[in-house]
Amino acid sequence: MNKRTMNIIISKLNKVYDISWKNERGNPFEILIGTILSQRTKDEVTWPTNKELFKKINSPKDVLEYSEEQIAEMIYPVGFYNQKAKYIKELSKLLLENHNGKVPRTREELIKLPGVGVKTADCTLCYAFDKPVVCVDIHVEVVSKRLGVANWKDKPEEVREKLHELVPKEKRGIINALFVEHGKKICTTRKAYCDKCPVEKYCPKIFKE
């Protein structure tokens, strides 16, 4: 894989998939909370649940008006809702105490928050602040490895580094959304439907998992 081929792949996928949803996820706090809710939960469940939650809250200060139990009830459809409710309560308190109620704009500060790992931090930076970072979730990881960007033994951080080497900064903001759509519809975690793939000709086709 080289930079020219990656640019072609991004361009072709961008013509196939509607990723307008990436700009419709709300303010930085809403995106941060939604990304936490998305952990081990499908997007089709996560974001409608997040929208319902934000009909009741809109800031860290609002969160503190509710108990963990009440928050857990609000986010019930998502997986691990009790643990996530605890994270939401704790991080809201820390945002008020240490960041004037604002979501941090750096990876280093974000991963200090409860429930926020590197993937959640990168997704927040990408979707909330348009930072030039690639968020490596399971779809991005699988698609990248099938395309030969990374090896099957590579950890998500290694995949991220290799994508950053190949993808221009101005296009990093869309590659997560494009690979997510492609991973859901064609290059799925369980099977690759190569006969329907718009970028099949650029794929090495040797899936050594």
Higher pLDDT, 1 or 11: 11
Query: Comparing 188 with 205, which gets the higher pLDDT?
Result: 188
**Does residue 62 have a pLDDT over 60?**
yes
Does residue 86 lie within any of the structural domains? yes
* 112, 154: one domain: no
Please count the CA atoms within 13 angstroms of the CA of 16 that sit on its side-chain side.
Answer: 20
Residues 105 and 146 in one domain: no
160, 111: one domain: no
Q: Are residues 179 and 164 in the same domain?
A: yes
11 and 81 in one domain?
Answer: no
pLDDT at 24: 78
Same domain for 12 and 57, yes or no, is: no
- Summarised one tens digit per residue, pLDDT across range 69-95 is 999 999 999 999 999 999 999 999 999
Our count of domains for the chain comes to: 2
Residue 100 pLDDT > 70, yes or no?
yes
DSSP string of 109-169?
Answer: HHTTSTT--HHHHHHHHHHHH--S-----HHHHHHHHHTTSS-TT--HHHHHHHHHHHS-G
Per-residue model confidence (pLDDT) at position 205: 65
pLDDT in the model for residue 209: 47
